């Protein structure tokens, strides 16, 4: 157990350690753990303990880009109480992971380009101090896994993933995820890359595809889109069929077939 000392707001210092029971979770599941802390050199009134889910998001501003840290969930896990000097205390945490939380791990491996974390905040004497970030690994829902596996079978190769600032239709998040692939097999004749976005809910999810058309000798490259819905109680093969239909629909609109 490693305690982190929070000095800025607390003067004498309050030490805190957040222990997650399992940092690998899926959207819709419960993130469980406990917050351990101990008092500093004098008694303090703790006004509240909060947990923040954070994500590093790419922001475009004019001709420049920069990364910003966004909080997309903040939940109080403890109310006011007195913390005696040097006293140790702990509170459990149980937080439902939002359905739209972006994927940050696949098959137990971190997804390159994604940075999600859990921050613990203590409110004390009108001040708020944050501990260090604990990494948060969000694994795909089964329906998302079906789509990802289907892309792998179709020869698509993972390039990178990131979060873009903006809100898509049907979403409640201030950003959206793009999982980028290099096109493979038959599709590499028609476009270079594919971007995949999920908008998940309790019973179904929307899948958004964006493909860049290969430019020819007299034509410039262009992007085209497709959006379809996958229900969680559908047969696994339905997601792959919907994906194939979506890819072909984009190709047909651009006259690639």
| pLDDT tens-digit series, residues 130-163 | 666 789 999 999 999 999 999 999 999 999 999 9
Q: Which residue has the higher pLDDT, 223 or 56?
A: 56
Confidence band of 42 (pLDDT split at 50, 70, 90): confident
What's domain 4-138's architecture?
Sandwich (2.60)
CA separation, residue 105 to residues 5, 16, 40, 161, 248 (Å): 29, 27, 37, 11, 28
Separation CA 228–CA 202 (nearest Å): 16
| Percent of the chain's residues with pLDDT above 70 | 86
- Quick: pLDDT tens for 63-98: 889 999 999 999 999 888 888 888 888 899 999 999
How many angstroms separate the CA atoms of 43 and 35, rounded?
19
- Comparing CA positions, the residue from 186, 188, 175, 191 lying closest to residue 226 is 191
Q: Could you tell me if 254 and 162 are in contact, meaning their C-beta atoms sit under 8 angstroms apart?
A: no
> Which sequence spans correspond to the domains of the chain?
4-138, 142-253
């Amino acid at each position: 157990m490693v305690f982190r000392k929070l000095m800025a707001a607390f003067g004498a210092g309050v030490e805190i350690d957040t222990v997650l029971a399992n940092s690998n979770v899926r959207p819709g599941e419960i993130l469980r753990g406990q917050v351990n802390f101990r008092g500093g050199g004098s008694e303090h009134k703790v006004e509240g303990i909060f947990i923040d889910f954070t994500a590093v998001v790419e922001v475009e501003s004019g001709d420049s880009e920069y990364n910003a840290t966004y909080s997309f969930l903040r939940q109080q896990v403890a109310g006011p109480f007195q913390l005696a000097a040097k006293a140790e205390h702990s509170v459990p945490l149980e937080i439902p992971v939002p359905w739209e939380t972006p994927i940050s791990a696949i098959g137990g491996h971190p997804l390159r380009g994604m940075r999600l974390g859990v921050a613990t905040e203590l409110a004390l004497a009108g001040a708020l101090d944050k501990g260090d970030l604990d990494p948060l690994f969000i694994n795909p829902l089964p329906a998302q896994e079906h789509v990802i596996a289907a892309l792998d079978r179709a020869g698509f190769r993972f390039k990178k993933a990131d979060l873009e600032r903006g809100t898509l239709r049907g979403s409640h998040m201030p950003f959206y995820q793009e999982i980028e692939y290099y096109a493979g097999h038959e599709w590499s004749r028609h476009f270079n890359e594919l971007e995949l976005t999920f908008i998940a809910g309790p019973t179904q999810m929307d899948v958004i595809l964006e493909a860049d058309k290969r430019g020819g000798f007299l034509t410039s490259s262009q992007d085209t889109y497709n959006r379809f819905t996958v229900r969680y109680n559908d047969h696994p093969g339905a997601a792959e069929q919907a994906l194939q239909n979506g890819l072909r629909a984009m190709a047909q609109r651009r006259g690639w077939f």
